[in-house]
Amino acid sequence: MLKKLLTKEILLPVLIIVIAFLFYMLIKQIVIKIFKAGSKFSAHKKSVTIMNLILNIIKYIILIIAVLSILSVWGVDTGALLASLGIAGVIAGLALQDILKDFLAGFSIIVDNEYDVGDNIKIGNFRGTVIELGMKNTKVRAYSGEVMTIANRNVTDIINYSTHDAKCIINVAVAYESNVEEVEKVLHEVCERLSEKIPYLKSDVQMVGLEELADSAMLFRIEADCEPLKDFAFKREVNRMIKIVFDEKNIEIPYPKVEVHGEL
């Protein structure tokens, strides 16, 4: 009798858990193979997001079925339990409003294509790469390694840097002692060199002109269209080239100076 009870109350639930886990792993492998079958579709980051969402839904369905099966083994009337969920569902809906909002917001993010896994986005003051988009949360990893987890319902004021080409704008500071026409000529040469050297440009580098007469320097504007997320690399390359050419042409880049006057 004890052996029979042990088999029913303990071993069967364990067996149900094992079968549920193995079944989920099998379904997971099938879903992954389906998404990888079409090479063109699987190349898109959106497919990864949709795949993860489908796997999450399957996981929760299998979990619910496993729990109901275990309760049935333990003698719980699951039929009556499901019938009572009508009233309980209303109560649970009120208690789980935030979770439902997260789910609906996550679904809206995917349908509206606001961002996908792998996109570089900015939410509020936090910028990073989306590493996970689930039914409840979005996880974003900053360049320095920090990971922010934010509920989908709280994802507002999104800036997505991965969907379109970047407009790269740099203001080059030049000392007031420099000749404007000579500086413009040199900057045009710099732009030509950069246009030939940088592979990720979507347009030629242009010297727009004298943008501003600041307090301690003249600011000349350089801009170009680049591939998404290449704005920082563009800025580094431009700064390096400008420093090299300005040194060659003896054009001064302003920096703080301290003049000391003494009396003997």
Q: What is the pLDDT of residue 211?
A: 92
Q: 56 or 158: whose pLDDT is higher?
A: 158
Mean pLDDT computed over 98-109: 77
Q: What is the pLDDT of residues 182-197, one digit of tens each?
A: 999 999 999 998 998 8
Q: What is the pLDDT of residue 154?
A: 87
Share of the chain above pLDDT 70, in %: 81
Q: What is the pLDDT of residues 234-256, one digit of tens each?
A: 999 999 999 999 998 888 888 66
Q: In Å, how far from its chain's centre is CA 47?
A: 15
CA-based torsion, 73, 75, 76, 82: positive or negative: positive
Q: What is the pLDDT of residue 222?
A: 92
* Angstrom distance (rounded) from CA 80 to CA 58: 25
Q: What is the pLDDT of residues 204-223, one digit of tens each?
A: 999 999 999 988 899 999 99
Residue 226 burial (CB < 10 Å; 0-12/13-18/19+)?
Answer: buried
Give the pLDDT band of residue 165 (cuts 50, 70, 90). confident
Q: What is the pLDDT of residues 71-103, one digit of tens each?
A: 777 777 666 656 665 655 555 555 556 777 777
Give the pLDDT band of residue 39 (cuts 50, 70, 90). very low
* Angstrom distance (rounded) from CA 184 to CA 258: 28
Say if CB 159 and CB 122 are below 8 A apart. Answer: yes
Residue 242 host element (H or E)? helix 231-249
Mean pLDDT computed over 117-143: 87
Q: 26 or 260: whose pLDDT is higher?
A: 26
Q: What is the pLDDT of residue 256?
A: 60
Mean pLDDT computed over 36-53: 61
Question: Whole-prediction pTM value?
Answer: 0.53
Residue 228 burial (CB < 10 Å; 0-12/13-18/19+)?
Answer: middle
Q: Give the β-pairing of 137-141 and 166-174.
A: unpaired
Instruction: Quickly count: other Cβ atoms within 10 Å of residue 187's Cβ.
Output: 24
Mean pLDDT computed over 119-126: 88
Residue-wise burial string across 55-86, b where 16 or more C-beta atoms lie within 10 A, e elsewhere? bbebeeebeeebeebbeebeeeeeeeeeeeee
Mean pLDDT computed over 47-51: 71
Give the pLDDT band of residue 259 (cuts 50, 70, 90). low
Q: What is the pLDDT of residues 218-227, one digit of tens each?
A: 999 999 998 8
Q: What is the pLDDT of residue 171?
A: 92
Angle between helices 12-37 and 45-73 (to 10 degrees): 160
Instruction: Map out the domains of the chain with their CATH numbers.
Output: 8-95 (no CATH), 111-160 (2.30.30.60), 166-249 (3.30.70.100)
* Angstrom distance (rounded) from CA 264 to CA 113: 73
Give the pLDDT band of residue 41 (cuts 50, 70, 90). very low
The residue type at 53: L
Q: What is the pLDDT of residue 264?
A: 45
221 to 122, 174, 186, 192, 242: CA distances (angstroms): 25, 11, 13, 15, 12
